[in-house]
Amino acid sequence: MINRHGGIAMNLDEFTASREQHEIVKLPISEKELCDRYEQVFTSAVNDVLRELGYVYQTMPKEILPLREDMKVAGIAFTVKGSKNLTLTSEMEQRAKMLEELNEDSICIWDTSGDDESAQWGEIMTMASKRRGCRGAIVDGGVRDTDKVLEQNFPVFCKYRTSNGMLGRFRMIGWQMPVKLGDVFVYPGDVILGDIDGVIVIPRNLAYDVLLKSEYIKENEKEIKQMIVDGLTPTEVVKRGGYF
């Protein structure tokens, strides 16, 4: 295609499709069952399965950690994008609309464009999200009201804690759009798993097969651990199909 200046025009159709046209594929089991079962496995097993499939950049930045070490959550990605912004007009109304669109079994994923100043999550947002059936929040930014969030037993993963609210410092650009946290893209509908070792993103079209293989790894490791308890040397464990 030739543009009006006589050069080659850029064709963005394929690039656009790769970023924006991700179908929310139907899963063979309910989203609730899928998430419940993912919460019974662990991120390391899921990571190993994804690696075998060629997906090696699925972990969120290592600084994103649970507010409490025993927090664990799996959910369906509900993405939010925002950035530093000083404007105030209709900001609270925008937040309210986003919260009202949260789905049951969702997990709220915040791409903050590298914000290092504000808390994108707090006590009241936790209360509202729980009422919508949201399972947790992953924030590439900050949290405040930490003690009040912890009291609600709602899994929250974040980079830092601060008393700074968003108003006048940060605002949302939109939600339910592709976002990027660190090296990993997150699309609405993807499956998210977070535990003490961080957060991993499972593409929705792979989520059920990855779950089955992760469950197999969990059971298989019981046998490996038993070999060690029984006194087998590491070499003998490997010869029997184990690993370290």
Instruction: Indicate the annotated binding residues for substrate.
Output: 122-125, 144
CA torsion 132-156-38-102 (nearest 10°) is 20
Amino acid occupying residue 204 = R
Task: Write out the two tokens for 48.
Answer: 């190993």
Q: Which residues are annotated as a binding site?
A: 122-125, 144-145
Phi, psi of 66 (to 5 degrees): -70, 150
3-state SS, residue 201? strand
Binding residues for Mg(2+): 145
Helix H or strand E encompassing 13: helix 13-20
> Using CA of residue 23, residue 25, residue 31, residue 33, what is the dihedral sign?
negative
Cβ–Cβ < 8 Å for 192, 199: yes
CB 166 within 8 A of CB 120: yes
Find the distance separating the first CA and the last CA of the chain, reported in whole Å: 55
- What are the C-alpha distances in Å from 42 to residues 132, 196, 214, 215, 237? 26, 9, 8, 9, 22
